[in-house]
Amino acid sequence: MLDFSTEKEFFNQGYKLIAAIDEAGRGPLAGPVVAACVIFRVDQVISEELKQINDSKKLSLKKREALYLPIKQAFFGVGVGICDNQTIDRINILQASFLAMKKALGSIKLKPDLIILDGGFKIPNLSISQKAIVKGDEKVLTIAAASIIAKVERDRLMIKFHQQYPQYGFDQHKGYGTKLHLERLKQHGPCLIHRLSFARVLQK
């Protein structure tokens, strides 16, 4: 079970307002990359319900959906940023992930003293202090909360895309390179939301 201990360490260092950021959708062959940001203050209360938060990849679809609204209601700001497949193809997936994170942060009026984010890289060209935490979505409650928001938002987008392109099964695999997805790609070729810069999309 995740707790608020890492966040308390940062508050003890003097930070008052912190943003936790994570993204969903770096690996898929289709669809956008989606980042989410949650803002929390030194007086943030972690309810019993929020203690159920974990890395989104370790939670069921039902559990992620159940936690989505409580997270949005509990934190002082929640933002989402999206970069589509065309942007990913143009600037590469890492830079698109950073751009989505900036969009998520920019969608919230509050300006944090510190950004904590999952992974080994800091967001470039930001004046705010940052701390990148490897496997942060597994270790830090607020980063895990951001991962849930990002995952739910992206899954919902992919279900909408399934309605446009039902032949690919996006409602099942969400654009990831599953056996089903690769078979459908061979049958139908890529559609308008596929990432053409990803080699597996154009494999024959």
Please give the Cα distance from 82 to 105 (Å, whole number).
11
* 136 C-beta neighbours (distance < 10 Å), count: 24
With 70 as the cut, is the pLDDT of residue 204 above it? Answer: no
Q: 5-153 belongs to which homologous superfamily?
A: Ribonuclease H-like superfamily/Ribonuclease H (3.30.420.10)
E strand or H helix at 131? strand 129-133
Question: Quick one: pLDDT at residue 3?
Answer: 83
3-state SS class at 201: helix
Its pTM stands at: 0.96
Reference 52, options 67, 72, 74, 36; nearest CA is 67
The arithmetic mean of pLDDT across residues 104-128, rounded, is 95
Locate 10 and state its tokens. Answer: 């940062």
**How do the domains of the chain map onto residue ranges?**
5-153
